[in-house]
């Protein structure tokens, strides 16, 4: 019995250093795991904060968008066209307006004014507006020399602007490359309460 006890003591004594060395190896792994968990928690906290306080929110808010297009040829009186729509913050509003203009001795041609707008309301009350405009105007007056009517160039533009609620902003001014026609686009967006 004494012999068995001595043998058991020897086995236990030889296994204690190996247990200690396995714990020494496992300790750095535990530190790495702890650091990874802390880093993951920090990232999750930042994501939660960003979700709680986004700069532009998709709130259930309507925005009225008014676009005024001023088309002027030379010294003639300017023609104004206004497009107005209401769109929810973060959603698209789209308007398509097309007319066929008859011509004597020729096929009719299309005149169009198309507007797409998507407003985003910020937590500060500003409005970021994504805007696309396509405008094909009616032909100009007849040329006194040969009686022909020149078709003015159309405008196709797409842009993103930041607006103050209720304040107008001139977002573009374009010139016809073939004539002295000028087209100015002014936009106003208003958050509706």
Q: DSSP label at 105? A: T
138 versus 67: the higher-pLDDT residue is: 67
Q: Which residues contact 31 (CB under 8 A, 6 or more apart)?
A: none
Question: Tens digit of pLDDT for each residue in 53-86?
Answer: 556 555 679 999 999 999 988 888 999 999 999 9
132 versus 150: the higher-pLDDT residue is: 132
Euclidean distance between CA atoms 124 and 101, whole angstroms: 46
Q: How confident is the model at residue 87 (pLDDT cuts 50, 70, 90)?
A: very high
Euclidean distance between CA atoms 141 and 145, whole angstroms: 12
Q: What pLDDT does 5 receive?
A: 46
Task: Tell me: pLDDT of 110 over 90.
Answer: no
Task: Tell me: pLDDT of 6 over 70.
Answer: no
3-state secondary structure of 110: strand
Q: How confident is the model at residue 26 (pLDDT cuts 50, 70, 90)?
A: low
Q: Taking residues 176-192, report their average pLDDT.
A: 89
Q: Taking residues 179-186, report their average pLDDT.
A: 88
> Exposed/middle/buried for 133, CB within 10 Å: 0-12, 13-18, 19+?
buried
Overall residue count recorded for the chain in this entry: 193
Angle of CA points 172, 176, 181, to nearest 5°: 90
Euclidean distance between CA atoms 94 and 82, whole angstroms: 14
For residues 178 and 152, is the Cβ–Cβ distance under 8 A? yes
> For residue 185, what are the CA distances in angstroms to 62, 115, 160?
22, 11, 13
Average pLDDT, the chain: 80
Nearest CA-CA partner of 123 in 187, 191, 47, 65? 191
Q: How confident is the model at residue 158 (pLDDT cuts 50, 70, 90)?
A: very high
């Amino acid at each position: 019995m004494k012999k068995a006890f001595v043998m058991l003591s020897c086995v236990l004594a030889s296994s204690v250093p190996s247990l200690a060395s396995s714990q020494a190896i496992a300790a750095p792994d535990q530190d790495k795991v702890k650091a990874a968990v802390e880093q993951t928690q920090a990232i999750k906290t930042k994501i939660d904060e960003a979700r709680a306080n986004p700069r532009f929110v998709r709130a259930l808010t309507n925005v009225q968008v008014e676009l005024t297009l001023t088309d002027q040829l030379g010294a003639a009186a300017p023609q104004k066209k206004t497009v107005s729509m209401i769109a929810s913050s973060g959603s698209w509003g789209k308007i398509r307006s097309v007319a066929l203009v008859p011509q004597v001795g020729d096929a009719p041609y299309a005149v169009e004014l198309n507007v797409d707008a998507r407003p985003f309301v910020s937590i500060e009350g500003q409005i970021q507006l994504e805007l696309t405009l396509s405008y094909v105007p009616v032909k100009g007056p007849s040329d006194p020399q040969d009686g022909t009517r020149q078709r003015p160039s159309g405008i196709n533009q797409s842009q993103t602007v930041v607006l103050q609620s209720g304040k107008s902003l001139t977002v573009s001014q374009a010139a016809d490359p073939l004539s002295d026609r000028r087209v100015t686009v002014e936009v106003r967006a208003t958050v509706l309460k």
